[in-house]
Chains A and B, each alone.
Chain A
Amino acid sequence: MASHAEPAPIVAPTASPPPTLPEREALARQMMEATGELSRHPGDGWIMADPAPLSPALVRKFHGLIRAMCPPEPRVPDLEARIEDQVRRMMRYMQPLIVMGFKAALHVLDLAPVWRGKSLKRLQDLPPDVGARILTEVERARLGPISDMVSAARAAVLAPYYDLDEVLAHIGYTPVEFMRRRVALRRRLAAGEAALDGDHIGPYAPGLRADNLADIAVAAARVEPQAKAKEVAP
């Protein structure tokens, strides 16, 4: 069998000299180190791509789609430009066929009011609430790939929308302070300190019992590391 053939003899590698042990140790530590920085644009040396090219006409169509899809409240300054910039950068990372499909969707959906017989105006020229109604109809009409275009466009527009600071604050999602506290807690636990009562999460909801879960988790923690899941009878 071919797989039993022996590999060629090993020769010394010819690449640049290997890094020293302290250099390798420092890199390994960097990989694992929690800084608690949590910044939106982390300074890890990574360069984000420039926005992908879009013609002015396509940008107008895209802005019309953004206005139709995004909620009217909270009002966000420069909404269309900020989502456009983010999506155009993301497009650089996508497969070329997906990018072509996205551009086609911008054309097709901009003309949705016309080919649905709802208006002689294009989506970009309609009030956002009217545009939203038409797009919802298109998605629910089960028009195969065209309905899928609405789903894909919604993901492309609303994911960046719900990543904006103003919108996250509006819906009460404030993870940064919580995460910083948890980074600090992990440092304490890793240093051998015991958890305090205030380190537990919740319970927030009425009727939920914290006690039995905590008991079970503590009991489970005594189990030898690994093994398979321990089934808990009700």
Chain B
Amino acid sequence: MTILRYADYEPRGAEFDADVVVVGTGAGGASTGAILAEAGLDVLFCEEGGYHPTGSFNPYMTESMSRLYRDSGTTSILGTPNIPYVEGRCVGGSTTLNGGMAYRAPDHVLDDWAATTGDPTLGTAGMERHFGMVEESIHAGPQHATSVGDDNRIMYQGAQKLGWKSAVNTRNQSHCVGTNNCILGCPTGAKQSTLVSYMPRAIRAGARCLTEVRVERLLIEGGRCVGVEGRAVNPRTRAYDRRVRVRARAVVVSAGAVHTPYLLLRHKLRSRELGRNFLCHPNAKIIAQYPFDVHAWQGVSQWSQVREFHGDGIVLAENMVPPAPLAATIPWLGREHMDILERYNQTLVTGCLVEDSTTGRVHRGPLGMPIVRYDISDWDFQRFIFGTERLAELHFAMGADRVILPYRSFHIARSMDEVRRVTPQSLKKSDLELFTVHLMGTTRMGSRPESSVVDLDGQLWELPGCYVADASVFPTAIGVNPQVTIMALGTRIGERLATRLMRCRHAAAAA
């Protein structure tokens, strides 16, 4: 069997053997695993979530949250303010649930990485081949015209009206037709998440996948990582009650920027940098209501982005969501709440993303819970207020009759005069209502063990045989949606690991 579930594991414990075990099937794990499998290695994925094929996706949120999201979407970063975040827990990881933006890390970021690490292959030219491979695999390209809805028309024409620059997004999609169900899984199969791109490649090349298994520790023998151990979760009780052990010649940890350091921290590695440098691209939601129907739930998410303020690390974009997640975030109760949602067809959800100017840290908390600490900086605070004001300006310019602002103490604005009353002096940081999905940077890559956690091959400085391939290896924030950069680094790490392992295989065969 290629994909195993809880019922497939022996109650007394299950043991597996492979050349490489990859923990996670998201952007990093799936891309690395596919490269390794296609090189002829026996690859075994360990995925904490379940396997849900394209045909199982639907527009209903409540059950989908439990099926697809970590902790049913109840995860949060602690700080000022607290920032809720979500990540995938299913085959495909967060790529199954993201908006499908396919951006490379900007040239200045890559060149900074090259300069910082002293490795030119991490720079723009050095990464070109890997980005090209990824973009071909996930069909990165602009949208077809039939997928564009009124939400994107409003954003694009609003930017034109105000004289702002826009950028047409490249997205990982093949014939996307704009169902706008990205966050609950693409029901058409158009979004090229790893579920429909890298994982099928890996499966065709012979990889296997253990699902519903949470990896809890690394197996270390003689100072070398030789496998992983975890437990499978009973689907009815959610008790982790079946032990699963995988022995392998190399371990690739791709559990994301929170759970990768959480797993590694268990082993009391001495690296000072492990868990530090947490980055998250926080963003604020600005909800506009128009006096006419826009049916923003029809049409692709983020056909374009407003890039006028990108020089200050601010990106503005449409980000329509189904009613249930919208209802969870807007204030008010009872009748007042329904007054907002009854105008769902006239509603447009937009976001202001701010590039990090500070970092946070991941700790191991009690009862299997990671604790993430992160406080926004004064500059971030000012940029959120600036970006929110600009988005409100766009909406009012396009005819919105009210805007719901992301401030606890000041929610409704019916004109720009009302919006301008909000200043950094009239608010506190804790008044901001933020959200994030881009988690990065907690096991950063580098050329020196004192300032990084993994080397330029993605291998832990302190633990041979253990590699990291996900957003946690980013040396710095990238300011754009990270999945393509994660996949490019995953490809690079996979190629280098495959070369090393195949060299060993050939040496053993020759001997």
Residue ranges of A at the interface with B (Cβ–Cβ < 8 Å): 1-3, 5-10, 13-16, 18-19, 21, 23-25, 27-50, 68-73, 86, 89-98, 128-129, 132, 135-136, 139, 142, 148, 154-155, 158-163, 167-168, 170-173, 175-176, 178-179, 182-183, 185-186, 189-190, 195, 199-210, 213-214, 216-218, 220-221, 223, 225-234
Contacts of B304 in A (CB 8 A): 232
Whether A179 contacts B203 by the Cβ 8 Å rule is no
23 A–B pairs (Cβ distance < 8 Å), ordered by A:
A6-B504, A13-B42, A24-B204, A24-B206, A28-B203, A44-B56, A94-B72, A95-B74, A136-B332, A155-B329, A160-B62, A162-B327, A171-B345, A175-B59, A175-B297, A186-B176, A186-B190, A205-B150, A205-B290, A205-B293, A208-B154, A226-B131, A234-B159
Give the distance to chain A from B160, nearest Cβ to Cβ, in Å: 5
Asked if B200 contacts A179 (CB within 8 A), the reply is no
A-facing mask of B50-73, CB < 8 A → 1, else 0? 111111111111110111000110
B55 touches A42 (CB 8 A): yes
Q: Is the CB–CB distance between B188 and A186 below 8 Å?
A: yes
Residues of B within 8 A of A41 (CB): 63
Which residue, A41, A159, A168, A176, has most C-beta atoms of chain B within 10 A? A159
Query: Which residues of chain B are within 8 angstroms of A233 by Cβ–Cβ distance?
Result: 165
Nearest chain A CB to B319 CB, angstrom units: 17
Contact between B175 and A73, CB atoms less than 8 A apart: no
A155-B329, A161-B327, A213-B152 known; A232 and B82 CB under 8 Å? no
Q: How far is the CA of A8 from the CA of B131 in the complex (A)?
A: 31
- A217 adjacent to B144 (CB under 8 Å): yes
CA distance A116 to B497 in the complex (A): 62
13 new A-B contacts at CB < 8 Å, known A30-B55, A44-B56, A201-B148 = A7-B504, A24-B204, A28-B201, A49-B237, A95-B71, A136-B332, A159-B62, A160-B62, A160-B324, A171-B342, A225-B136, A232-B168, A233-B165
Which of these binds chain A: B273-281, B380-388, B418-426, B457-465?
B457-465
Contact B149 A15 (CB under 8 A): no
Taking a contact as CB atoms under 8 Å apart, the answer to whether B141 and A226 are in contact is yes
Complex contacts, A6 vs chain B, CB 8 Å: 500, 504
Interface size on B, residues (CB 8 A): 151
B121 on the A face (CB < 8 A): no
Q: Does the CB pair B174–A42 fall under 8 Å?
A: no
B139 within 8 A of A: yes
Bound form: Cα–Cα A24–B504 in Å:
27
Q: A13-B17, A47-B235, A213-B145 are in contact. Are A173 and B462 (CB under 8 A)?
A: no
**Residue B357 is within 8 A (CB to CB) of chain A in the complex:** no
Interface contact A31-B196, CB-CB below 8 Å: yes
Report yes or no: B52 in contact with A90, Cβ–Cβ below 8 A.
Answer: no
Nearest-neighbor residue (CB-CB) of A136 within chain B: B333
CB distance from A215 to the nearest CB of B (A): 8
Separation of A40 and B507 alpha carbons in the complex (Å): 54
Q: Report Cα–Cα, A161/B341, bound state, in Å.
A: 12
Q: Which of B1-9, B253-261, B436-444, B469-477 contacts A (4 or more CB under 8 A)?
A: B1-9
Within the complex, the shortest CB–CB distance from A22 to chain B, in Å, comes to 11
Expressed in whole angstroms, the Cα–Cα distance for A9 and B504 within the complex equals 6
Residues from 193 to 225 in B contacting A, C-beta threshold 8 Å:
195-196, 199-201, 203-204, 206, 208, 223-224
Binary flags per residue of B69-109, CB closer than 8 Å to A gives 1, else 0: 00110110000001000000001000000000001100000
CA distance A221 to B282 in the complex (A): 31
Interchain CB contact under 8 A, B71 and A71: no
Interface centre among B17, B153, B459 (most CB of A within 10 A): B153
Tell whether, in the assembled complex, residue B72 and residue A86 are in contact, meaning their CB atoms are under 8 Å apart: no
A33 vs B41: C-alpha distance when bound (angstroms): 27
Set of chain A residues within 8 Å of B341, measured between Cβ atoms: 162, 171
CB nearest neighbor in B for A5: B464
Given contacts A175-B297, A205-B294, A229-B170, contact A48 B55 (CB under 8 A): no
B181 an interface residue at 8 Å Cβ cutoff? yes
Are A158 and B167 neighbours in the complex by a CB distance under 8 Å?
no
A71 to B72, CA, bound (A): 24
A225: nearest chain-B partner, CB-CB: B141
| B307 contact from A1, A34, A35, A231, Cβ within 8 A | A231
Task: State which residues 262-307 of B face A: CB under 8 Å.
Answer: 290, 292-295, 297-299, 303-305, 307
Which chain B residues lie closer than 8 Å to A40 at the CB level? 58, 60, 63
Q: Check if B157 is an interface residue, CB within 8 A of chain A.
A: yes
Give which listed residue, A5, A18, A31, A221, contacts B141 with CB less than 8 A: A221
The one of B200, B208, B338, B501 that contacts A71, using a Cβ cutoff of 8 Å: B338
Residues of B within 8 A of A46 (CB): 50-52, 56, 67, 235
CA distance A35 to B188 in the complex (A): 8
A77 to B325 alpha-carbon distance, docked (Å): 22
Q: Which of A19, A25, A47, A96 contacts B236 (CB 8 A)?
A: A47
**B163 is an interface residue with CB less than 8 A from chain A:** yes
Q: Which residue in B52, B328, B459 is a CB contact (below 8 Å) of A3?
A: B459
